[in-house]
Amino acid sequence: MRARSWPARCGTRIRRSSATRMPPARRGRGRNDGVWAGFRSESPPFPEFASRLRRFVAGWSGTTGSPRMSEVLVLTGGRMPGAVDLVDVTIIDGIVAAIEPARSGDPSHQDAQLIALDGRWVVPGLWDNHVHFSQWAAASRRLDVSAARSAAETVALVAAALRRATHSVSGAHSDAGSSHRSFAAASGTIGGAPGTTPRQTEPAGGGADARVAPLVGVGFRDGLWPDEPTAALLDAVTGPHPVVLISGDLHCCWLNSAALAQTGLAGHPTGLLREEEAFAVHRALDEVPAEVVDAWALDSAQAAAARGVVGIVDLEMAWNHEVWTRRLAAGHDLLRVEFGVYPHHLDRAITEGIRTGTPVSAPSDRAGSPVSAPSDRAGSPASRGGFGSSVTAPRAALAGGASVLVHVGPFKVITDGSLNTRTAYCFDEYPGLEGQPGSRGLLTTPPDELRALLTRAVAAGFVPAVHAIGDHANRLALDAFEELGCGGSLEHAQLVSESDFGRFAALGVTASVQPEHAMDDRDVAERYWSGRTGRSFALASLLEAGAVLAMGSDAPVAPLDPWVTMAAAIGRARDGREPWHPEQSIAASAALAASARGRTSSRVGDVADIAVTELDPLATPPDALRTMPVALTLLAGRPTHRTL
């Protein structure tokens, strides 16, 4: 298949400064400039890069020595965040080559493409540093029950959905209906290790059919409900049709008796599955045919690009190496991706020789030529001993291979539960659960096991990402990082003891946080973390203690939209309510940096991962920031979204 020029591929027309045609594009030129933790450095460009850039400008490849035409794009008349003066941004072969005062007339490069920005703002491309991408892609195809304020209201929504579907679940309310693989077979992992042989199950007493795809709903939050969610409540309106409802925090699933029977849990006392049992249900529901979920993922990638997103950290619980290799082969080239590896896949990762920073490519390009993706290329993250070093984006892009979009990311370990499910592991008991088992939450990975897992993963070249929400879980995770002497990230860090804020910076541990969760959970936190909410979702305290923030959504828990994330971090408010603990709000510049791999503006030498916005992100009120209009998104200079 012959490659089209990138203006045609994007479906846009771009004014040329001369009649000379631009050579065909190379798909996905941009190397992942947001290497895991490497974005923390702000060191200046270095001689090696400057030399290579001069060769690019001169029309040489800079690697083989063979001459070729460079691809030149000039964004004219734009502004940097917080600035007034207009500038022209010249991009050569996907790299920002110059940022100069705006001038009239054609640029000096005879073959340049021009895009007039007319005073819009040039922003570094945005990252969502924590997503579950396949689940996010499926979420819009499932029944949304997030508006329910009680178990009874939720059941009413389910009953209405079943009536509309006439007991034949449509794609508008489920994860693809008949295209879904056997839930009963896939969910045989419940109660056993992931990947074990599924157990045979008997139909439920109501005549449940193991071949029937379940109705799947998402988004319920029962932490403040006046009534208890039970299988019996669902049974009253669902009959033999299996129903699975996923909580808004993903740590709990509510099943009716038919679905429980399909999963081998007939007779479960409540129908509420928490933590590992719930995660097993997620894995079962993810067994959608690859071509279906990949089409959904492409739609979600396009939507993300329309919000200025250039990259994600995908922490789906699947064997993501296979998933993203397949998507690359199918032409998914709208986002950079760093994907996680979980404990149940660590042996496989080690056997296959992958580690944090390993580049991933499709087996071959669309013309059938092999695609090279060496993991130990000089200057690559792997050869530098992991992503904890201070490597700038330009160096990673040029030395690591500019065509690679997907890399192996962190080693993900979950150590506790969540706030809404009341399983986040805390020092204090949850009100109403005093004296009961699990009254302080659940420690799903004990300290000895955590240290053993991290020791093995770090030795294999992985950077750890440890899920910790409760203050006790955060303490134990920081203890493990300190004992091992390695950096990494704490995912969520929602409740942190005062004495632990300073340990993030001291240990080189990034706080990977999701500010919109505070807006979702502020009332639940006031009930269950009463007296401690001043140190919950404490972004300002983390920053003041020197911690590096990396912000994300945890989609589908919150929308994959960094502007929503930034608005929550800056304003600490939503839906017209008063700001919640406004002392923990952070500056717009800090929020932008935490969403753009440490950058607040583009610099010469950066890979041209850029978003162009209609408003200044450093001067826009939080409410307006949530709906920030994005006019253009570039991935290494290649448009992935454009309204201009």
Kindly state the average pLDDT of the residues 190-199.
Answer: 33
Kindly state the average pLDDT of the residues 577-598.
Answer: 99
pLDDT by residue (tens digit) across 378-427?
Answer: 233 332 233 332 223 332 333 344 568 999 999 999 999 999 999 999 99
Rounded to whole angstroms, the Cα distance separating 430 from 419 reads 10
- CATH 3.10.310.70 range(s) for the chain read 140-163+214-287
Q: For residue 207, what are its two tokens?
A: 């005549």
pLDDT by residue (tens digit) across 252-269?
Answer: 999 999 999 998 999 999
Can you spell out the DSSP letters for 422-490? Answer: T-S--SSPPTT-TTSTTTT--BSS-HHHHHHHHHHHHHTTPPEEEEE-SHHHHHHHHHHHHHHT--EEE
Kindly state the average pLDDT of the residues 135-156.
Answer: 96
Q: Are 409 and 345 in contact (CB under 8 A)?
A: no
Tally Cβ neighbours within 10 Å of residue 147.
10
Residue 111: pLDDT band (50, 70, 90) is confident
pLDDT by residue (tens digit) across 505-553?
Answer: 999 999 999 999 999 999 999 999 999 999 999 999 999 999 999 999 9
Tally Cβ neighbours within 10 Å of residue 244.
30
Q: Are 118 and 77 in contact (CB under 8 A)?
A: yes
Q: What pLDDT is stored for residue 202 in this prediction?
A: 37
Q: Are 567 and 539 in contact (CB under 8 A)?
A: no
Kindly state the average pLDDT of the residues 578-596.
Answer: 99
Q: What pLDDT is stored for residue 134 in this prediction?
A: 96
Q: Is residue 36's pLDDT more than 90? A: no
The CA distances from residue 257 to 200, 208, 239, 241, 249, in Å, are: 16, 9, 9, 9, 22
Q: Where are the beta strands (DSSP E) in 31-120?
A: 72-78, 87-92, 95-101, 113-116
Q: Is the peptide bond before 556 cis (omega within 30 degrees of 0)?
A: yes
- CATH 3.20.20.140 range(s) for the chain read 127-134+292-362+404-600
Rounded to whole angstroms, the Cα distance separating 611 from 633 reads 4
pLDDT by residue (tens digit) across 96-108?
Answer: 999 999 986 655 6
Of the candidates 555, 537, 549, 564, the residue with the CA atom closest to the CA atom of residue 622: 564
Q: Are 320 and 340 in contact (CB under 8 A)?
A: yes
- Angle (nearest 5°) at CA 128 between 75 and 137: 105
Q: Is residue 464's pLDDT more than 70? A: yes
Average pLDDT score, the chain: 82
Q: Is residue 166's pLDDT more than 70? A: no
Tally Cβ neighbours within 10 Å of residue 27.
18
Polymer length of the chain: 644
Q: Which residues contact 604 (CB under 8 A, 6 or more apart)?
A: 45, 96, 97, 98, 99
3-class DSSP assignment, residue 33: coil
Question: C-alpha 545: how far from its chain's center?
Answer: 25
Rounded to whole angstroms, the Cα distance separating 406 from 362 reads 10
Rounded to whole angstroms, the Cα distance separating 390 from 531 reads 39
Amino acid code (one letter) for 415 = T
Q: What pLDDT is stored for residue 68 in this prediction?
A: 54
Residue 162: pLDDT band (50, 70, 90) is very high
Q: In b/e form, how buried is each residue of 196-217, taking b as 16+ CB within 10 angstroms?
A: eebbebebbeeebebebbbbbb
Amino acid code (one letter) for 622 = P
Largest CA distance in the chain: 79
3-class DSSP assignment, residue 66: coil
Amino acid code (one letter) for 355 = R
Q: What pLDDT is stored for residue 285 in this prediction?
A: 85
- Is the domain spanning 127-134+292-362+404-600 CATH 3.30.559.30? The answer is no
Considering the segment(s) 140-163+214-287 as one domain, its CATH architecture is Roll (3.10)
Q: What is the pTM of this model?
A: 0.81
Assign a CATH topology to domain 70-119+602-643: Urease, subunit C; domain 1 (2.30.40)
Rg, Å, the chain Cα set: 25
**Tokens 């013309």 label which residue?**
367
Q: For residue 14, what are its two tokens?
A: 């771009």
Sign of CA dihedral 58, 61, 62, 64: negative
Give the residue with greater pLDDT, 65 vs 287.
287
Q: What pLDDT is stored for residue 288 in this prediction?
A: 86
Q: Are 123 and 596 in contact (CB under 8 A)?
A: yes
Q: Are strands 15-16 and 72-78 parallel, antiparallel or unpaired?
A: unpaired
Rounded to whole angstroms, the Cα distance separating 447 from 243 reads 36
3-class DSSP assignment, residue 204: coil
Per cent of the chain over pLDDT 70 is: 75
Q: Is residue 345's pLDDT more than 70? A: yes
- CATH 2.30.40.10 range(s) for the chain read 70-119+602-643
Kindly state the average pLDDT of the residues 76-87.
Answer: 98
Residue 211: pLDDT band (50, 70, 90) is low
Q: What pLDDT is stored for residue 392 in this prediction?
A: 30
pLDDT by residue (tens digit) across 360-391?
Answer: 998 764 433 333 333 332 233 332 233 332 22
Q: Are strands 638-642 and 630-635 parallel, antiparallel or unpaired?
A: antiparallel
Q: Are 239 and 209 in contact (CB under 8 A)?
A: no
Q: What pLDDT is stored for residue 284 in this prediction?
A: 86
